[in-house]
A and B are shown apart, each in its own frame.
Chain A
């Protein structure tokens, strides 16, 4: 994002740096995802050079890291806006950005060029921890914790000095939880059940609790900025959402404890609490829809222009309402009950849910934040969707939903053949992989992955050029 900057605060400029790296990592995620998708169809593709395990590892790590970058960026973006003052210690904040980015680069290079190590604790420290999503070596873990502590200190000191808002209170307490939980994933144990138990503390309590609350807070901010909703009402809803998200999400953790060696009582806790998890998502959906309609009604009455001041951001916000409900809600719910989950656990169903939920719940709202940053950077009063904005949202959404559907079909076939009929053995796995339904689902997944990537390029083009098109800027 080059050109004349109109940011009122240095914190917002820093936010745009975070957003830029987030977009680059988003691109890396798609690229490595394509490699892994090709390997499902042509297993010899890059075999021995960049094996599936490595491609897939970078695919999911890039995903997590770009979202964390975009979330930190989002916090830096709304922090001065909410508190009314510049970020305290902006110099340190910028330094931390460079340290973090350097660390991420080193980790990725090690992943690509060194890949695996000997069965030695040194590998865990310097090459990879080898635990899905948490592969970053331990030195990087510690580095991340230090950087995040600096980030927290910055935001806290700023929030204390400036204006206190409900949104800021939610974000700050959420960030502490988010950072603290990361510590649960930083030790080594020989006991794989124990390992998985704590691993889920990081993964689940991030993705299904603290990240969702973050989304709630960002959506609240966006509703105030983009739609013009009343702050008091929005903040009241935010608190209700926090209660519902944490109330269901924290003990909903139980749905990961059905089969990893943990006691049977988790069946009931996991099933019933996670069955409630979609409820706040319905609430968020209704809330966004209603506020949008209501504010439009006010404008209509006053005879004002009813179009939003940032159409692309609004479109992504609305797709967040749908996507969160569909990806996290529907796709999560239909395999969450233990009676069903014993067959679906560890199949492509999970992959389908993962793709749809990460996109619907998180990617959408973070992209909306990118558009808000573009608007802020160039001081644009009204930002209208261009052809590229529309293509981006259409192709990315269509592509991800397509991948989700393809993987769901693959998962269904796997459940029937590898699990229910043949009993989950080595042979059962490959028999299921060889079926036409599986093979074609994998073809469609790749095609839809390409569609998503094309959409991504439209998104990049749009973010870089939307401000320069006088037709779309008022």
Chain B
């Protein structure tokens, strides 16, 4: 039988089936990828920390540990370092640090604090001025690594302004009375954040700083002295 000349390329049915296939299969791939990613970004627990297992989103109990953000040779970018580093940029999970005067928050206590903080971040609409993990509005600073911000460390402008001696207390004080500490003409409004909510929020911020964001933001806090304050109004 001789081949009949037909034009598949101008056939509606061919394109309809192709569109269905491409859409369906891309969706399936996305679902598969989602399962894989879910497994990787599930929050860890204290057991992981005890076993020195690095999680992309670590346990809420990281608030008991010292947190840094350092270049990791193997990864090729900066990663959060929890409890000191082993010399290669990986976490040691050893060095502790006081958080509101304690470094022994149990899993339950830490989870509750984080829960309260995350709820507060939504109830107060943080994301409609700030960015979290780079998403949100662009009216106020990114809070992804706010816990590690030089301004909040000892000797930093923000900590000095609040008159507190630790960064968690300074942050909590600022969150409760933002109007009292204007750092810029653009002031944070008073959102009625209570003492308890402020502690939760600071725990949330500290935890967020320990999430492995593949090196975002790059070179965080690498500000040269002198440049910083020269131009602030």
Contacts and interface: CB of A to CB of B under 8 A. Distances in A.
Indicate if A touches B (C-beta under 8 A).
Answer: yes
6 contacts: A119-B194, A194-B42, A196-B133, A236-B11, A422-B227, A425-B150
Interface stretch (B46-54, B84-92, B97-105, B141-149): B141-149
A189 B42 CA distance: 11
B191 A47 contact: no
Contacts of B160: none
Interface in A111-139: 115-121, 123-124, 127-132, 135
A43 interface: yes
A124 B40 contact: no
B221 interface: yes
A258 B37 CA distance: 12
Interface in B164-219: 183-187, 189-192, 194, 197, 200, 204, 208, 211-219
B95 interface: no
B18 A239 contact: yes
A428 B157 CA distance: 13
B232 A119 contact: no
Contact of A131 (B122, B151, B200): B122
Nearest to B229: A427
A269 interface: yes
Contact of B221 (A119, A135, A169, A425): A425
A407 to B, nearest CB: 9
A239 B15 contact: yes
Contact of A119 (B119, B132, B151): B119
CB-CB nearest 6 A-B residue pairs: A130-B122, A259-B216, A346-B134, A119-B120, A424-B217, A239-B15
Interface stretch (A66-74, A243-251, A386-394): A243-251
A232 interface: yes
Of listed B11, B124, B215, B227, residue having the most chain A CB within 10 A = B124
Interface magnitude class on chain B: 35 or more
Interface in B1-29: 10-12, 15-16, 18-19, 22-23, 26-27, 29
Contacts of A128: 122-123, 125
Contact of B190 (A48, A235, A422): A48
Nearest to B213: A259
A419 to B, nearest CB: 7
Interface stretch (A16-24, A143-151, A260-268, A290-298): A260-268
Interface string A183-198: 0000011111111110
A116 B211 contact: no
Contacts of A191: 41-43, 57
A261 B120 contact: no
A324 interface: no
B71 interface: no
A427 B137 contact: no
B4 to A, nearest CB: 20
B17 to A, nearest CB: 9
A379 interface: no
A43 B123 CA distance: 22
B123 A242 contact: no
Interface residues of A, number: 88
B121 interface: yes
Interface in A310-365: 342-343, 345-348, 350-351
Contact of A427 (B116, B117, B217, B223): B223
Contacts, number: 277
Contacts of A123: 119, 122-123
B81 interface: no
A166 B16 contact: yes
Interface in A405-464: 414, 419, 422-431, 433-435
A192 B211 contact: yes
A240 interface: yes
A351 B111 CA distance: 34
Contacts of A195: 118
A56 B26 CA distance: 34
A124 B122 contact: yes
A44 interface: yes
A423 B223 contact: yes
B120 A262 contact: no
Given A54-B125, A243-B22, A261-B133, A236 B10 contact: yes
A348 B138 contact: yes
A206 interface: no
B26 A262 contact: no
A329 to B, nearest CB: 20
B56 interface: yes
A52 interface: yes
Contacts of A48: 189-190
A40 interface: yes
Given A129-B122, A261-B133, A426 B158 contact: yes
A261 B38 CA distance: 11
A267 B127 contact: no
A124 B116 CA distance: 13
Contacts of A196: 132-133, 135
Interface in B69-115: 111, 114-115
B192 A116 contact: yes
Given A193-B41, A243-B19, A425 B122 contact: no
Given A259-B134, A429-B141, A423 B16 contact: no
Contact of B19 (A44, A239, A258): A239
A423 B125 contact: no
A435 B231 CA distance: 8
Interface string A285-309: 0000000000000000000000000
A257 B38 CA distance: 12
A264 B214 contact: yes
B62 to A, nearest CB: 13
A53 interface: yes
A434 B230 CA distance: 11
A34 to B, nearest CB: 15
Contacts of B118: 188-190, 192, 195
Given A48-B189, A425-B150, A427-B150, A132 B30 contact: no
B76 to A, nearest CB: 10
A261 B57 contact: yes
Contacts of A262: 37, 40-41, 56, 214
A430 B158 CA distance: 13
